[in-house]
């Protein structure tokens, strides 16, 4: 199965990078070794980056572990977070809009916040839960993934990544720094900065004001951008209606003193959507 999935991702979906995350609890040492071997063989910096992964699957929620280095992980949530932090792995929350797998409302966990960098967001229900996680204090960025249980990979949603070149080291660094956006349009590009900081950053120094720069571009002329929404602390701060395939906008906000977060949501005329990673800032 790993060889089939990786070949499909590379040759049919023509992805730049791919992580296969089979359910941890259903695997064996043999299947884990096979996943690692196939990932190693298929990986090629500059052309196709492949990482092994696992999906930690419990009755209250599912999480992906990227490049985990081992197959066996603790079953309890707190012990899992501690082990993940000790191994410095990257963790993603999956399909938390489910009534069954919602992590009991996503209460903030300080240890978990050190390792959970990514959050699956592909539709409005997941956007709502994503905003709840941000409001609870989590520092997470949205990703687009398939969660495929059929023989096709990389065909429903995608993760855009800001990195200087296509390599395993650059990909892992970008995921760890949350320099990502989720998109259901394969080739639409999104950039978002705040006071010069890139999406995903936590600005450590207190700021006097907030200057936001947004750029969205789709190479397909027919893919009109219906709305570009800039959100502050989970609410829409400004809506832009480009009525074309691209937009570049700069605006200034004067928030109240204290901690804030901003991110961008894009809605195309055909209902495809994009979500940027947030940027966190503290107003002096």
Q: Model confidence at 164, in pLDDT bands (50, 70, 90)?
A: very high
Predicted pLDDT of residue 224? 97
Q: Which of 242, 174, 183, 238 is nearest to 210 (CA)?
A: 238
> What pLDDT is recorded for position 98?
82
Per-residue confidence band for 100, with pLDDT thresholds at 50, 70 and 90: confident
Report the greatest alpha carbon distance in the chain.
Answer: 56
Domain ranges of the chain: 2-183, 189-283
| Whether residue 175 has pLDDT greater than 80 | yes
User: In 3D, which of 270, 5, 16 has the Cα closest to residue 160?
Assistant: 16
Average pLDDT rounded to a whole number, residues 29-42: 95
Q: What is the mean pLDDT of the chain?
A: 96
Residue 166 parent element (H or E)? none
Across the range 62-89, mean pLDDT stands at 97
Residue 106, pLDDT above cutoff 90: yes
Find where tokens 């966990």 sit. Answer: 109
Give the pLDDT band (50/70/90) at residue 166: very high
Residue whose C-alpha is closest to residue 176's, from 223, 121, 114, 267: 114
What pairing do the DSSP bridges indicate for beta strands 246-253 and 141-143? Answer: unpaired
Which distant-in-sequence residues (6+ apart) come within 8 Å of 63 by Cβ?
A: 55, 56, 80, 91, 92, 93, 94, 116
Whether 189-283 and 2-183 are alike in CATH topology: the answer is no
Predicted local distance difference test score (pLDDT) of residue 6 = 96
Q: Above 90 in pLDDT, residue 150?
A: no
CB 145 within 8 A of CB 159: yes
| CA-closest candidate to residue 131, choices 99, 97, 156 | 97
pLDDT above 80 (res 1) = no
CATH of domain 2-183: 3.20.20.140
The two tokens of residue 168 are: 């395993």
SS3 content of the chain, % helix, strand, coil (to 5): 25, 40, 40
Question: For residue 237, what pLDDT is reported?
Answer: 97
**pLDDT computed for residue 101 by the predictor:** 85
Single pTM value for the model: 0.96
Alpha-carbon separation of residue 150 from 20, 96, 167 (angstroms): 13, 21, 28
Cross-strand bridge partners of residue 17: 49
Percentage with pLDDT > 70 across the chain: 100
Residues written for the chain: 284
| Residues 189-283, CATH architecture | Sandwich (2.60)
Distance in angstroms (rounded) separating the CA atoms of residues 116 and 214: 25
Distance CA 57, CA 55 (A): 6
Each residue's pLDDT tens digit, 185-244: 999 999 999 999 999 999 999 999 999 999 999 999 999 999 999 999 999 999 999 989
């Amino acid at each position: 199965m790993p060889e089939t999935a990786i070949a499909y991702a590379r040759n049919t979906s023509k992805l730049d990078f791919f992580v296969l995350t089979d359910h941890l609890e259903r695997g064996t040492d043999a299947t884990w070794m096979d996943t690692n071997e196939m990932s190693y063989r298929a990986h090629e910096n500059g052309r196709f980056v492949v990482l092994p992964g696992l999906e930690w699957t419990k009755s209250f929620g599912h999480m992906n572990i990227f490049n985990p280095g081992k197959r066996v992980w603790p079953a309890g949530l707190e012990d899992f977070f501690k082990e993940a932090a000790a191994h410095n792995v990257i963790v993603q929350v999956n399909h938390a809009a489910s009534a069954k797998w919602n992590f009991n409302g996503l209460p903030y966990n300080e240890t978990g916040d050190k390792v959970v960098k990514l959050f699956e967001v592909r539709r409005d229900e997941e956007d709502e839960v994503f905003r709840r996680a941000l409001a609870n204090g989590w520092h997470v960025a949205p990703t687009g993934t398939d969660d495929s249980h059929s023989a096709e990979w990389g065909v429903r949603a995608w993760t855009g990544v800001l990195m200087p070149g296509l390599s395993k080291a650059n990909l892992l660094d970008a995921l760890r720094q949350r320099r990502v956006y989720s998109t259901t349009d394969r080739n639409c590009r999104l950039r978002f900065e705040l006071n010069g900081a890139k999406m995903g950053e936590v600005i450590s120094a207190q700021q006097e004001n907030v200057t936001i720069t947004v750029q969205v571009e789709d190479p397909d002329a027919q893919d009109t951008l219906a709305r570009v929404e800039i959100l502050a602390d989970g609410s829409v701060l400004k809506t832009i209606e480009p009525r074309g395939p691209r937009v570049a906008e700069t605006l200034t906000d004067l928030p109240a003193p204290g901690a804030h977060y901003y991110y961008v949501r894009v809605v195309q005329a055909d209902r495809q959507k994009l979500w940027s990673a947030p940027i966190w800032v503290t107003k002096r």
